[in-house]
Every structure is written in structure tokens, then in C-alpha cells.
């Protein structure tokens, strides 16, 4: 089996438009959640979101292409651009062995809403000819492949809020088993619009907080739901010997991946946390034992009652009493829930924690929950040696994923 390493990373988030900017703000506990500016929320209970800001597509997307692509594809191309440049992979890869595994939870939501309104108001003949290629979920992966001449495997992954992590995990397996030498992988999402807010809101999944400091508060007893976030994140995964031969910078090794399904409920996780735990165990099965106090877990940590409770039970099911020694945090306290992009940006967080030994905080954590009683790194980053970094993600439909990263030895 091939070893798989990370040789490039890119990010567009509510707290930074590059990996260095994102990481600096994550470590410093910067809150990227604020009042929604994309639409009028006067008559809504849901006032807050994690919006990306001041995006400059110069040199990444031509102006003529912007109108032909949905925002989720633009976010994907932006993140992929940084990751590809960071890796130095172009010109150093057989294009037939270069692939893309990139996903989204929803796809072109803004496009769907806009063209549906056009259909109702102006008739079928006025619907954009770009409607379908802007809206379909695989089009971000397709555009990335076109831009970088990636003629190998091209897959769109969609496992709801686990999408970004699933894309990375499946890319890892493809390289591990010899189907590609390098893959651009990750996820993007752009769903801050009235229909998404209405849909998530009416199912009582969104936070009804009245201040941005209480909007997204994972593991806090006051939590009332998640906050819509958006953005994109991309990683370059590469076969280890291939990366070493070209002198690539290596961030970390992908040392494991677990994927299971609760097969329990369309939106709620299984409260027994058996299959979420199985995903974590699967990701760790080939990794030598690591002391619990040297393990970091970037939790899915959505700030919903059942997710945070289920994850806490998951970690206890896997680690037993040692769960109290783990270092855990949720960056959704700063970014909101980036949905299809969440797993990818959280994988980047796990990698940077492994590399730097800095555990980013879960901000605005005030009131402990008796049932969520682990160390969630409240409010301030912690400096400590980390030998194993895990990232867990759960998605509607019962999707569970866990990615494991270690330093290259």
C-alpha cells in the first residue's frame, strides 16, 4: 500500500482568505460570525452567519467566467488555487495520474433560487442557459480539473456536512491503492440565502441567539443550533515517494480514514454513538498507540444539542476514561457551519495543530453542560505537543467520518 501525504492547502473562510490568515485568526479566537448582510432578516429569528469577505478573484477566475459559475464553484476554485500553488505540483505530475475529489453539500443554491424566480416571473425562455452547469453539484470538481488539466479520476462527493472529509478520505484511499499519484480534494459551500435559512430554520436547526457571541457555542449548555457558514477548502494529497522525489514540502501524513453510517435517522445522529465511534476506531486502527494527552480532535461541534452530545459520547466510547485527557475544539465557534466545506477546513485545522502544537480554542464557551464534560479548549488556545490529530464530521443521512493525521517519519 502507498503512503499518502499532504503537500498543499488552500482556504477561503469567514475568518481568513488564505490558510495563514485563517490559522492566525483561529488560534487567536477571532469570531467570524456577524449579522447577515446578504438578505433582509427583519422578519426572521435567524440573524447571524459566517460570511466570507473581500474576496479577490484576480488571477484566479476571469471576469467573464464569474457570471457563468455559482458562488460555490468560485469558492472551490479560489481554495484550489492556493493549494495547488502551495504544493508546486503543476509541471511535476503526470496529468493522467492527477485527479480531483471535490464536493459540496448542496451545490448551486443561489443559482437555483435565482433561476427559479426568473422562471416564475419572466417565463421559461428567460431562464439562463448557464443554469444547469452552474447549479449541478459536480461542476466545482469539473472546473478544477479543467483548470489544472487533471485527466485522472474526477469525483464529486456529497455526504452533507461530512462532504469535505469524505472527499479527502476517498482521495486518500485512491492514492493508497494506486489509482492516482496526486489529488486535489476538499469541499465548498455557498448557501447563505433566504431559502436555506428558511429550510434549516423551520426544521429548528439554526441558532436563535440574539448576539453573535452566543450564536455558535459548541458544547456550551446554552447552545441553540448552528450558524450558516460558507467558503471553500482544498488539500493536495500525494503519494509519499512521488512527493519526496520532487522535493515537495510535506505538511503531514494521512494515516487513517474511517467512514460509517448510523442508518438511524435522516437528520439526527444515533444517540448511542456506536457508529460514530466505529468511524474513529477505523481511522486509528493502523496507528501505533498514542497517549491521550498527545491527541487532538477537531470536533464537528455544530452547536446543536444532539450533535455535541453525540460527539462527546463518541469520544468516551472510543477512549474511555482517557477521553478526559484529549484536546478537543470546534472552529465552528468562529466560522459557523461551512457545511460541505466544513470537513476540509477542519482537516486543515487538525494538520496545523499537529504541526505547531497549538490547539485552537472553542470560543464563547461560558456555561458547561453536565453531559458534555470533556476538555473543549475553552476560549484560549493551548500550546502542547500533539502526535495524532483527528478530525470528525457528521452529516444528515447518518454519514460519519474521521480523518487521522500524523507527522511523517
* Angle at the Cα of 13 from the Cα atoms of 62 and 7, rounded to 5 degrees: 80
Cα–Cα distances in angstroms (integers) from residue 302 to residues 193, 265, 339, 401, in the given order: 19, 17, 10, 15
| Dist. CA 232–CA 312, nearest whole Å | 27
- Measured over the CA atoms of residue 209, residue 212, residue 213 and residue 215, the dihedral's sign is positive
| Residue 399 known to be catalytic | no
| Dist. CA 349–CA 378, nearest whole Å | 16
Residue 282 three-state SS: helix
Q: Which residues pair with 353 in a beta bridge?
A: none
Cα 6 vs. chain centroid, distance in angstroms? 16
Catalytic residue (choose from 156, 242, 300, 399): 300
Catalytic residue (choose from 242, 327, 337, 399): 337
Cα–Cα distances in angstroms (integers) from residue 26 to residues 55, 104, 234, in the given order: 19, 23, 17
Cα–Cα distances in angstroms (integers) from residue 324 to residues 276, 295, 398, in the given order: 18, 11, 26
| Residue 177 known to be catalytic | no
Cα–Cα distances in angstroms (integers) from residue 292 to residues 109, 214, 318, in the given order: 41, 30, 11
Give which of 363, 355, 309, 366 is closest to 335, Cα–Cα.
Answer: 363
Other Cβ atoms less than 10 A from the Cβ of 396: the count is: 18
Give which of 97, 159, 65, 218 is closest to 402, Cα–Cα.
Answer: 159
Backbone angles phi, psi at 372, to 5 degrees: -115, 85
| Residue 261 known to be catalytic | no
Cα–Cα distances in angstroms (integers) from residue 226 to residues 229, 300, 369, 400, in the given order: 9, 11, 17, 18
DSSP secondary structure, 103-167, as one string: E-SS-SHHHHHHHHHHHHHH-GGGS-TTHHHHHSTTHHHHHHHHHHT--S-EEEE--GGGHHHHH
DSSP code for 391: E
Catalytic residue (choose from 156, 161, 185, 402): 161
Containing 247, the helix (H) or strand (E) segment is none
Annotated catalytic residues are 161, 300, 337
Amino acid at each position: 500500500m502507498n503512503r499518502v501525504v499532504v503537500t498543499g492547502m488552500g482556504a477561503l473562510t469567514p475568518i481568513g482568505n488564505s490558510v495563514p490568515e485563517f490559522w492566525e485568526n483561529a488560534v487567536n479566537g477571532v469570531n467570524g460570525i456577524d449579522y447577515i448582510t446578504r438578505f433582509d432578516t427583519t422578519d426572521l429569528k435567524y440573524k447571524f452567519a459566517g460570511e466570507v469577505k473581500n474576496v479577490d478573484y484576480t488571477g484566479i477566475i476571469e471576469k467573464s467566467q464569474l457570471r457563468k459559475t455559482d458562488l460555490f464553484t468560485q469558492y472551490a476554485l479560489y481554495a484550489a488555487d492556493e493549494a495547488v500553488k502551495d504544493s508546486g505540483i503543476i509541471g511535476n505530475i503526470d496529468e493522467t495520474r492527477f485527479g480531483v475529489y471535490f464536493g459540496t453539500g448542496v451545490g448551486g443554491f443561489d443559482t437555483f433560487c435565482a433561476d427559479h424566480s426568473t422562471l416564475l416571473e419572466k417565463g421559461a425562455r428567460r431562464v439562463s442557459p448557464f443554469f444547469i452547469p452552474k447549479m449541478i453539484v459536480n461542476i466545482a470538481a469539473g472546473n478544477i480539473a479543467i483548470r489544472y488539466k487533471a485527466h485522472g479520476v474526477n469525483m464529486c462527493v456529497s455526504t452533507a456536512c461530512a462532504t469535505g472529509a469524505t472527499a479527502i478520505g476517498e482521495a486518500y484511499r485512491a492514492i493508497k491503492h494506486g489509482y492516482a499519484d496526486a489529488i486535489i480534494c476538499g469541499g465548498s459551500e455557498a448557501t447563505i440565502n433566504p431559502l436555506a435559512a428558511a429550510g434549516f430554520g423551520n426544521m429548528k436547526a439554526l441558532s436563535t441567539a440574539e448576539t453573535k457571541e452566543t450564536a455558535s457555542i459548541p458544547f456550551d449548555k446554552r447552545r441553540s443550533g448552528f450558524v450558516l457558514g460558507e467558503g471553500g477548502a482544498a488539500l493536495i494529497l500525494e503519494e509519499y515517494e512521488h512527493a519526496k522525489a520532487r522535493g515537495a514540502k510535506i505538511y503531514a501524513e494521512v494515516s487513517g480514514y474511517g467512514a460509517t453510517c448510523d442508518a438511524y435517522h435522516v437528520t439526527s445522529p444515533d444517540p448511542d454513538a456506536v457508529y460514530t465511534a466505529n468511524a474513529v476506531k477505523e481511522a486509528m486502527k493502523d496507528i501505533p498507540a498514542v497517549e491521550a494527552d498527545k491527541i487532538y480532535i477537531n470536533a464537528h461541534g455544530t452547536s446543536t444539542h444532539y450533535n455535541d452530545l453525540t460527539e462527546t459520547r463518541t469520544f468516551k466510547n472510543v477512549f474511555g476514561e482517557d477521553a478526559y485527557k484529549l484536546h478537543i475544539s470546534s472552529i465552528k465557534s468562529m466560522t459557523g457551519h461551512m457545511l460541505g466545506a466544513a470537513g476540509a477546513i477542519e482537516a486543515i485545522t487538525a494538520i496545523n495543530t499537529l504541526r505547531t502544537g497549538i490547539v485552537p480554542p472553542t470560543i464563547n464557551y461560558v456555561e458547561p453542560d453536565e453531559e458534555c464534560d470533556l476538555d473543549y479548549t475553552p476560549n484560549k488556545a493551548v500550546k502542547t505537543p500533539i502526535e495524532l490529530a483527528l478530525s470528525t464530521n457528521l452529516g444528515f443521512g447518518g454519514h460519519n467520518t474521521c480523518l487521522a493525521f500524523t507527522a511523517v517519519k
